[in-house]
Copies of this chain bind each other. A is one copy, B any other.
Amino acid sequence: MAEFDLIEQYFNFHYDFSSNSADKKGQPSVVKGIGDDCAIFNIPDKFQLVTSTDTLVSDVHFFSNLQPELIAYKALAVNVSDLAAMGAKPLAFTLSITLPEVSERWLSDFSKGLKSASEKFQIPLVGGDTTQGPLTINITAYGTVKQSRLLRRDKAQVGDDIWVTGYLGEAAAALDLSEKALGGRDELTEAENNLWQSLATPKPPVKFATKLAKFAECGLDISDGLMADLGHILKQSQCGANLDVEFLPLSDSLVEVVGIEQARQFALNGGDDYQLCFTAKSQHRNKILNLGERYKVNTTRVGKVTEGDLIVQLEGEAFQPTRASWQHFNQ
């Protein structure tokens, strides 16, 4: 199958996203998608374009025998999460895929998962590249944000509340189950299956994030683990924090499968959560809780920004994390 046919058959989705329509005057829009050298966007003056790119490598970021639908879904979801981290609304994405060979069955499944995530997050595929080589998936996502509505990393201030969305640690716990999971989903308990779903199909709170900047100036998504990612905020904002372990949002499934002690460790340093960590003034507490309810996003205060270091505590006593955050090329 030639490259052009492959793109036409598996990646030329047809969309009806009214929110991305060029007809909406004054809104960001996709002018041209697949079929030219480049994709083209109109970005009205009151918006900024934000862009993020992530590469997933077979057997590094996902198991090569994972269902192609799930590989595709997650590849897009983690990029959408980077947009949410800025408070940006998804506009479009491009896919660069490197394939060892053309398997129409694999491509058809992959395409299905990609289209499903594309529709879930209302983000159209507008271009990309197919090449031959070891299986690697690179996605670049484009979003827009109103000029004054950007979530940054350097705006935390002493006294701010520290919040997280969703439940943490489930994906890291699921990785421990992955061998069992790959042996067949039937063997999993319901709780284990819930963890597995969190790992396989992360759900970054995109719509919540686009509204959040009314109440929060500082935030990011939790991909390397809460402590590591909160660390980025603290470093760039030049402050410290008290993090209260007893407030970490832990799902019943997580506690059932790994116990409360391990659940807290996974929540602190597991990574792969693709939820938000953000800081906000205490007068916005109710507004944030209401916003979470409106978009069905769990919101939890887990600490406070301070002048000092990052201190992790359990009911006022020092708490010792057992697990380093994950980094590429860590030695």
List A residues at the B interface (Cβ < 8 Å).
Answer: 1-4, 6, 31, 35-45, 48-61, 82-83, 85-86, 88, 94, 96-99, 102, 127-134, 136, 138, 140, 142-143, 145, 150, 152-153, 220-221, 236, 327-331
Contact = CB atoms under 8 A, between A and B. Distances in A.
Contact of A37 (B2, B41, B82, B130): B82
Given A94-B140, A328-B132, A49 B54 contact: no
Contacts of A56: 131
Chain A interface mostly = strand
A86 B44 contact: no
Nearest to A136: B136
A2 B140 contact: no
A54 B97 CA distance: 10
A328 B131 contact: yes
Contacts of A94: 51, 53, 140
A36 B4 contact: no
A247 B10 CA distance: 39
Given A45-B45, A49-B49, A86-B37, A55 B142 contact: no
Contacts of A133: 57-60, 134, 136
Contacts of A82: 37-38
A64 to B, nearest CB: 11
Contacts of A130: 328-329
